Amino acid sequence: MSTAPALKDWPLWEVFVRSKQGLEHKHCGSLHAADAAQALHMARDVYTRRQEGVSIWVVPSAAITASNPDDKGELFDPAADKIYRHPTFYEIPEEVGHM
Amino acid sequence: MYTQAMDIPDESGKKLAVVPGAASDQEAAFEARIAADGRIEPQDWMPEAYRKTLVRQISQHAHSEIVGMLPEGNWISRAPSLKRKAILIAKVQDEGGHGLYLYSAAETLGTGRDEMLAGLHSGKAKYSSIFNYPTLNWADVGVIGWLVDGAAIMNQIPLCRCSYGPYARAMIRVCKEESFHQRQGYEALLVMMKGTDEQRALVQDAVNRYWWKCLAMFGPPDADSPHSAQGMRWGIKRISNDELRQKFIDATVPQAKVLGVTLPDPDLKWNEERGHYDYGQIDWAEFWNTVEGNGPCNKERLATRVKAHNDGQWVRDAALAYARKQKERQVKEAA
Ligand SMILES: [Fe+2]
Ligand SMILES: [Fe+2]
């Protein structure tokens, strides 16, 4: 998420679009807008001109807390040696079939 | 979306240099990721020169989208049919959208939108020179779609693999939309070519005026592009100017034949040995003259852009005042 200063006080918003019913909202970009209603209008024009979405979320960029890339090792490495969390870790006799 | 030479220096880039220093751990991590063809994201450490190069390139690219709306925008009110008008509006709106995706990508590098716009409006920042030429007749609109967007697509496809994540993602979105731009232009020309002799002459005239300028869009020859090598090493640029230009020519010659126009280059001919078309000498003096601000429409384009921005100031102010008022009202009601 950006930490760039906003356009003469128009805050930055992150835009999330649900491409079709049943799928999750996915981050697709950001834009500047005076308020949430305007951010929604602009997100429609900027990110869904070709029916790319059925629903839009806009979130003030400033409201997002992101993990620090410097903490990447500390946060994510511990999962690397826990291979027993994956189904392929377990050997099951073939005659059992799909499990 | 129209990138020309991505390494056209502007004021902000003049003092740009790669500062050699003791390689830090961060720098080593950055280099390792680039070497492994990985992606750099906004929060990752990056060398200042990499950041500056990207800001300059992405903002030039964004400005090109925005200024690129002007030559075609001139024809919206004069499109020959309601269908062509609707198509042209959609295309121009797309270009505005491309500009916004790109400004957003540049902002992730810590440069504000207002700062970039100020650079454009003061004339410090560059944009693609192709938009400093006039659109004289309706065929120009078709030729811009076919050749200018066509050249832009050649330039942009490799940028989808750019090492900077937000730029690459913006490019993927843009490339998905560009194909329509090129096809609508080519089809509009096909229709004119099936018309009267006068209409065919208009198409040929537009091709004659735009062909060489489109070839220059790929930027100076590799031998004269000192920044290119660093851009390549950083994975910002993937294919050289000359290589892209050649690809564009090879792809366009058969299209021109189907359309029934000639490309205005007596030296243009197939080279069996190279497996490519040979082509004539590009007028680089004219290119640089236009980059420096002396093309036929530089002043008009910039003035139109600045006027539009200034005329919109009251709208931006009003939207902000309204948002503040709404917020105050909410706070009062909650109290
Ligand atoms: Fe575009
Ligand atoms: Fe385009």
Taking only the tens place, the pLDDT of each residue in A24-45 is 999 999 999 999 999 999 999 9
Q: Taking CB atoms and an 8 Å cutoff, what residues of chain B touch A45?
A: 93, 97
Report how far residue A29's alpha carbon sits from residue A53's, in angstroms, rounded to the nearest whole number. Answer: 13
Size of chain A in residues = 99
pLDDT reported for residue B226: 72
Q: DSSP assignment of A29-80, as one string?
A: EEEE-SSHHHHHHHHHHHH-TTS--SEEEEEEGGG-----GGGHHHHHGGGT
Please answer yes or no on whether A38 and B323 come within 8 Å at the CB atom. Answer: yes
| Residue A74 to chain B, least CA–CA distance (Å) | 16
Q: Which residue of B has its CA nearest to A52?
A: B173
Report how far residue B18's alpha carbon sits from residue B303's, in angstroms, rounded to the nearest whole number. Answer: 35
| Amino acid, single-letter form, for residue B226 | P
pLDDT reported for residue A70: 80
Q: Running along chain B, 335 residues long, what does each successive block of 10 average in pLDDT?
A: 48 47 81 94 94 96 97 96 97 96 95 94 94 96 98 96 96 93 98 98 98 96 84 92 97 98 98 97 95 94 96 94 91 88
Interface test with A, best of B98, B181, B320, B327 (most A CBs within 10 A): B320
- Smallest CA-to-CA distance from B219 within B157, B155, B171 is with B155
| Residue A90 to chain B, least CA–CA distance (Å) | 33
